[in-house]
Chains A and B, each alone.
Chain A
Amino acid sequence: MMNIPCPFCGPRNEAEFAFGGPVKPDRPDPNMVSEEEWAAYLTQVPNPLGPVQERWWHVKGCGTWLTIWRDTRTHDIVVRPADAS
């Protein structure tokens, strides 16, 4: 069980959180992008081998949605990689 740092509550057990999935790019204006770009935004979720930024909801705590960088190989919570977009 991971130990997730909540910005308000400090490090808390993963069981207090709900997983919110990897962070996708900002939602584009659907009227300004092609159908392909829109479909890509909807369906393509980052799934790297290594650090990924993801959202967690501290649902059994303070209710904050937060983001962390997690290394998918190790579960280590890491600092934002220098080359991250």
Chain B
Amino acid sequence: MPHNRTETGGRIDRGQMVNFTFNGHKLQGFAGDTLASALLANGIRLTARSFKYHRPRGIVGAGIEEPSTLVELMGDDASGNRPATTVPLREGMIAKTVNCWPSPGFDLGAITQLISRFIPAGFYYKTFKWPGWHLYEPSIRKAAGLAAAPTAPPKQGHFENRFGHCDLLIAGAGPAGLMAALTAGRAGLRVMIADEGTEAGGSLLNRRLTIGDGPALDWVQGVVDELDNLPNVIHLQNATVWAYREHNYLMVNERAPDNPSLLERNWRMRAGHVICATGAIERALVFGNNDKPGVMLASAAQAYVNRYGVRLGQRAIVFTNNNSAYAVAADLAAAGITVAAIVDSRMDVPEEARSMVADIDILAGHVVTTARGRRQVRGAAIAPVDGGASQQIACDLLAHSGGWNPAVHLWSQSRGALRYDDALTSFLPDRPAQNATSIGAADGQMTLADALDRGARAAADVAGVVRPDIPKSTDLPYAVTPLWRVKQATGKAFLDIQNDVTVDDVHLALREGYDNVEHVKRYTTGGMGIDQGKTGNINIIGTVAMQQGVPLDEVGTTTFRSPYSPVSFGAIGGLREDSVVLPYRHTPVTDWNLKNGAFMYESGARWRRPGYFPQAGESFQETINRECRIVRNGVGVYDGSPLGTFEFKGRDVGRFLDHIYTNIMSTLKPRQGRYGLMLSDDGLIIDDGVALRLSEYRWIVSTSTGHADAMNSHFEELLQTQFPDWNVFVTPVTSQWNNATICGPDARDVMQALGTDIDISSDALPFMGFADGQVADIPARVVRVSFTGELSFEVNVAPRDLPALWGKIMIAGAPLGIAPIGSEANHVLRVEKGFLSLGHEVDGTIDPYDLGLGWAMSRKKPDYLGKHAVAIRRAGTSNRRELVGLLPEPDQMVPEGAPLTPGGDRKPTEGLVTACVYSTVNERWVGLALLENGQSRHDETVHVRLKDKIVVARVTPPIHYDPAGERLRS
């Protein structure tokens, strides 16, 4: 069993052993351990290799600030780049260090240390500008990379999102946050208090303090019990408030929700008021080799001895510039560790600090210049801060404290202002930008009594109640003198341990002109990565300030952005995974389609439609050809339900349609339909389709499938913002009407076989006409529109009736060889006819004249959307790209999107291929293209420039089949 434990004490359960594996070694810890504390208890010091130089590294912190030991969890826990200090130990856990191979003890990548002087800050920027980053990227990623991403979703459960509202959201359950929650909870506010730790208490968990008459943690337990019994309070542990957005919207990632099938729950909270009780983070001191395993933040050392019962070493040195480390030294001594010396850079050590460590040598006015040792610290060189002879002191633990930074991350994310405080030598919250208050150490109250008082006051102010009495407590007053870096440091002195950024790197960045702190960050990568520089950023700012000879507030901070700490993508996505992210829309005949062998496509706006119906032994092209021949020579049927359908009602519909269509719609008589184009006001074609006038005040407008939602927005915006006094009501009815479109020369025979009370002769029901009645004893509206160029009857019915209608059509059409038609064949048929398709022939540069649809641009109407813009644009340009047909010679397919260039040369394009299909009626490949001045270039030869060849093609009119349109009118 681990021999590096204290005899008693701590928050671990010594009766419950936990087995785990680290880098292949089977080890034991206790329930309540983190992976980091268990490793330290097993005497494992070398736990990581550094990012760039592959230097040996150990555990530096005790919480989310950990810059050094990142692990990858394997197996069912699979996740990467987790700070070992934040991973609760679990039975059977398998973890490995990232960024070293084959092991941290023997790391081949450490060879980079030998060439470290050749890879300074900005190395990548300078080196890999030419010929291309992608050539270097794979090997760089392997050498410098972090953990691999898991390859499969976790098996043990799922993630979820939850929305929540509260009067007061408190981030942090340390003494200040708990006091605030208690005050607000008792006052009846709806409170959420969320804390990133596994237990409430914050810094109290790591320290030995009293509140009231007993241990501080007894007070914590009492508060937690009371909060958990208040129905108006939600108390979350192991839950990080990781983002603070506008309008008091915050994200809280709960990592151990109440439901056992849940892995994580991400709360999206809207809070009336926010209290940031996020505590403070200790900053490192910057001296030579301050990254050796065994060199650790003083607060972390305190956490390991007090909270986790780990005896970190035999002989410690404490290096500090402030009072807080004296309590640490006292706790180390109490845990049985010999404290060889306290090295304090301050000349005058306050008496209240000295009195805590009566038996320990204090070297005031001294600094550690360098840590000694190879794979772990063996001692330190110590010299007077103003220069002079150095002495060596042996140690196996070097705990250091550079002072405390209030964790202003959330505050700053909320756009709250910061100010530099000379007494605390740190940035503090200043004016709030939203309904927010900062309290406790996060606000610069560095003693327990001040933090409790401020927490009670802040919550009482929000609740509008009198500040309650607070329990008494004692704490060592805080005092600090800045020491941004040790000037006489020898060896590499790291400002940012995670990214291997040294003092020299920052000096180099400044010399090369990157003198803004944001530029220093980008150039050196200092403050990036998993930890976002929680322990080192202020030292970078201090180093810049020292070098530039300006105060710190003039240098300023880099921007704090969310997330505060890493959040798994699963938690952000919640349940929105796989098929439910963007569910498909189905029509009532999806089951029939699948049963009949349809290969299903997504055909715009998430509609799932059959692409084609392959039969045994058919190739893809053979299937398409067969379906095309069926429509051209016999009869086919397809499901046209997804086409956007809108019902317009009101006295002013005609006037409104005249405004949005380019042609005149108001002159339509009831029972007539008309094809039309819609433009945006800046002259772009946004949709095309057919409008049917049902009666004086009722119309049906169809839009393309993919644009239905955008057109709905378009209609509503115009009606609600520009014509609020017009009497027009729009109802989307796409899913209220389904249809089976029977198409082909035999379509009328199928209609007759179905039986209908509608006169379907071409005189009674001509092209673009429609009629209501019964088809096969089903109430239906039959519309004579055609997207295939053949005689077509669009039989519209209620969705519940479509499967029955479909079945009857198949029976009625069987003698004529009817077959279902997929969207592939539909595409071929429309290209043969030169019918335009948005996204193929229409882009942001093409107007109706270019498409040969100038007839649809009304000259009678003085104004409609897009008229004026098209006129202005056409007046100012020549050489317009116009729609033409294309016949590749010799006969072959050319890819959609292929450029046309003059002579096939490497010259600016004069157009592009918009579609190319095999036409069964022409028994060859036919295409459509947009070509400069194409309408006057019929019969000319153009050249399609492909990657490996140039294809000659003849220009034709853009209709390859039935140019007179006799068949669709038949």
Contacts and interface: CB of A to CB of B under 8 A. Distances in A.
Interface of A: 1-3, 13, 18, 20, 27, 29-31, 35, 38-39, 42-43, 55, 57, 59, 63-65, 74-77
Report whether over half of chain B's contact residues are helix, strand or loop; otherwise say mixed: helix
A3 B717 contact: no
Contact of B720 (A31, A35, A65, A75): A65
Contacts of B248: 3
B863 interface: yes
B872 A1 contact: no
B246 A27 contact: no
A38 to B, nearest CB: 6
A20 B872 contact: no
A57 B415 CA distance: 27
A35 B247 CA distance: 42
Contact of B433 (A3, A30, A74): A74
Nearest to A38: B868
Nearest to A30: B868
Nearest to B245: A1
Nearest to A15: B268
Contacts of B682: 42-43
Nearest to B717: A65
B107 interface: no
Interface string B417-458: 000000000000000010000000000000000000000000
A53 B721 CA distance: 13
15 contacts: A1-B245, A13-B163, A13-B270, A30-B867, A30-B868, A31-B868, A38-B872, A42-B682, A42-B869, A43-B682, A55-B721, A57-B716, A57-B717, A65-B717, A74-B433
Contacts, number: 53
B561 to A, nearest CB: 15
B681 interface: yes
B513 interface: no
B713 interface: yes
Given A29-B863, A74-B433, A3 B247 contact: yes
Contacts of B433: 74
B681 A75 contact: no
Interface residues of B, number: 24
B722 A27 contact: yes
B862 A31 contact: yes
Contacts of B163: 13
A64 B722 contact: no
A3 B270 contact: yes
Contacts of A2: 246-247, 249
Contacts of A29: 863
Nearest to A41: B681
A74 B721 contact: no
A1 B716 contact: no
Given A3-B249, A74-B415, A42 B681 contact: yes
B720 A1 contact: no
A84 to B, nearest CB: 17
A30 B679 CA distance: 15
Nearest to A66: B720
A18 B720 CA distance: 15
A64 B720 contact: yes
B248 to A, nearest CB: 8
Contacts of B249: 1-3
A1 B863 contact: no
Nearest to A73: B415
Contacts of A76: 246
A39 B683 CA distance: 11
Given A1-B268, A3-B270, A63-B716, A27 B245 contact: no
Nearest to A29: B863
B268 A30 contact: no
B863 A30 contact: yes
B534 to A, nearest CB: 26
